[in-house]
Amino acid sequence: MNLLVTGGAGYIGSVVTAQLLAEGHEVVVLDDLSTGHADAVPEGARLVRGSLREAAEAVLAEGGFDAVLHFAAKSLVGESVARPALYWDANLGESLALFEAMRRTGVAKIVFSSTAAAYGDPERTPIPEDAPPRPTSPYGATKLAIDGVLTAYARLHGLGAVSLRYFNVAGAHGRFGERHAVETHLIPNVLAAALGRHEAVRIFGADYPTPDGTCVRDYVHVVDLGRAHLLALDACAPGAHVVYNLGSGGGHSVGEVIDVCREVTGLPIPAVIEERRPGDPAILVASSAAIARDLGWKAERGLNEMVADAWGFARR
Ligand SMILES: NC(=O)c1ccc[n+]([C@@H]2O[C@H](COP(=O)([O-])OP(=O)(O)OC[C@H]3O[C@@H](n4cnc5c(N)ncnc54)[C@H](O)[C@@H]3O)[C@@H](O)[C@H]2O)c1
Ligand SMILES: O=c1ccn([C@@H]2O[C@H](COP(=O)(O)OP(=O)(O)O[C@H]3O[C@H](CO)[C@H](O)[C@H](O)[C@H]3O)[C@@H](O)[C@H]2O)c(=O)[nH]1
């Protein structure tokens, strides 16, 4: 297929682009490099530098595109609380420009990066797709709104769309991995402490109602996530919008993650307990039963492999 990948210079987009190229697809990456890196775009993909508003229609109008994979977004929960209008504009506004460009150029399939943050604080775990979406941050709210727009575009304009709600994405794929100027995610921060870039890992709260008092999350390897995108592309059906969770179905606490990082690196990695980070739910674990049932997808790589691959990337 000929594919447009928005955000393909970022962490997940670069990994999925590498996987798409390996499967023989042609890829154009559209990225404004606001949080991504030009050198993260895999060889073999063409990079167009620009925002979706500025450039999506011109690129799609070149013709021949079969589908879009839409990763481009702002995704810092804390920043979204501080600057909600920026997030509504950057996520919903830019996505609308992309969907309109698709409608006008007749590109009718899309796979979208949604998020566990669309659910907010869950009533029950594991979280199924039909759990009430009650985002607790503007970031989650913008992603949920984009899911809503996709439902409308499917019904009204015949778009075939799949939203994938990622839980905690981790790991790396060779030279493609997580390289954010502002890093909020746990595993890269623990590995940065292992490399001596931080004095210690900061554990945000050890008084949660969980077995060791630290938050539990559902970690999924970025390579497994990429496989789900390949399956989702084939599953885009005209006039339908489907939402799938992507997680492993199991959870690990912050304490467990740090222990696995110590095991994998062979380093002591000092940790200090700090206050809770505002807005963190105690436990977030996905039910990925729907995508297993419909598309036969299942997470295959466990936490040790995620940490080992992220460690290989961090040391490069
Ligand atoms: N990393 C996670 O654990 C996680 C979890 C849930 C959902 N997601 C979603 O997955 C997607 C990718 O996340 P990531 O961690 O790779 O983030 P990232 O910041 O590494 O990548 C995003 C990329 O999009 C580009 N971009 C942003 N806004 C743009 C715009 N308007 N026009 C063009 N390019 C733009 C950035 O320059 C960057 O290269 C995001 O949509 C994010 O919300 C990520
Ligand atoms: O230095 C750190 C970083 C994180 N944490 C803790 O580790 C857990 C995981 O935090 P991350 O920031 O790695 O991930 P989140 O669960 O907060 O975020 C993930 O889930 C969100 C939905 O809730 C969004 O989808 C977001 O994009 C995605 O990365 C949380 O309990 C957090 O408090 C620490 O203790 N120390």
pLDDT in tens, 190-201: 999 999 999 999
User: Are 176 and 15 within 8 A, CB to CB?
Assistant: yes
Count of CB atoms situated within 10 Å of the CB of 108: 21
What are the pLDDT digits (tens) for 45-60? 999 999 999 999 999 9
Q: Ligand 1 mean position to 11 CA, how many Å?
A: 7
Q: Which residues pair with 28 in a beta bridge?
A: 4, 46
Q: Could you identify the residue written with the tokens 């598309």?
A: 295
User: Are 236 and 109 within 8 A, CB to CB?
Assistant: yes
Does 189 contact ligand 2 (Cβ within 6 A)?
yes
pLDDT at position 224 is 98
- Distance between CA 164 and CA 111 in Å, rounded? 7
pLDDT at residue 295 tops 90:
yes
Does 151 contact ligand 2 (Cβ within 6 A)?
no
Question: Of ligand 1's atoms, which has the minimum distance to the CA of residue 31?
Answer: 34
Domains of the chain in start order, with CATH, are: 2-169+219-246 (3.40.50.720), 171-218+249-315 (3.90.25.10)
152 φ, ψ (degrees, to nearest 5): -65, -40
244 is catalytic: no
Whether the complex's predicted ipTM surpasses the cut of 0.90: yes
Name which of 47, 59, 19 is nearest 231 in CA terms.
19
Buried b (16+ CB within 10 A) or exposed e, 201-220: bbbbbbebebeebbbbbbbb
pLDDT bracket for residue 137 (50, 70, 90)? very high
In whole angstroms, how large is the CA radius of gyration of the chain?
A: 19
- Distance between CA 270 and CA 180 in Å, rounded? 22
pLDDT at residue 238 tops 90:
yes
Average pLDDT over residues 201-207: 98
- Distance between CA 54 and CA 216 in Å, rounded? 40
- Distance between CA 135 and CA 199 in Å, rounded? 33
Residue nearest to atom 21 of ligand 1 (CA): 10
Q: Could you identify the residue written with the tokens 């999350």?
A: 217
Q: Which residues pair with 109 in a beta bridge?
A: 160
- Distance between CA 83 and CA 15 in Å, rounded? 29
Average pLDDT over residues 240-265: 97
pLDDT at residue 223 tops 90:
yes
pLDDT bracket for residue 249 (50, 70, 90)? confident
Does 217 contact ligand 2 (Cβ within 6 A)?
yes
Does 204 contact ligand 2 (Cβ within 6 A)?
yes
Question: Of ligand 2's atoms, which has the minimum distance to the CA of residue 115?
Answer: 25
User: Are 145 and 204 within 8 A, CB to CB?
Assistant: no
Query: Mean of the per-residue pLDDT values for the chain?
Result: 97
Prediction pTM value: 0.98
Over 10-60, what HEC string results?
CHHHHHHHHHHHHCCCEEEEEECCCCCCHHHCCCCCEEEECCHHHHHHHHH
Does 220 contact ligand 2 (Cβ within 6 A)?
no
Name which of 175, 211, 196, 176 is nearest 265 in CA terms.
196
Within 6 Å (CB) of ligand 1, which residues are found? Answer: 6-7, 9-13, 30-36, 51-52, 71-73, 75, 90, 94, 113, 115, 166, 168-169, 180
pLDDT at position 300 is 98
Residue 150: which H helix or E strand, with range? helix 138-157
Average pLDDT over residues 1-30: 98
pLDDT at position 76 is 96
Q: Could you identify the residue written with the tokens 């508003």?
A: 53
Q: How many angstroms separate the first and last alpha carbons of the chain?
A: 32
pLDDT at position 302 is 98
To the nearest whole percent, how much of the chain has pLDDT over 90? 98
What are the pLDDT digits (tens) for 63-87? 999 999 999 999 999 999 999 999 9
pLDDT at position 285 is 98
Among 11, 119, 139, 208, which one carries the catalytic annotation? Answer: 139
The CA distances from residue 218 to 10, 63, 158, in Å, are 21, 39, 33
pLDDT bracket for residue 279 (50, 70, 90)? confident
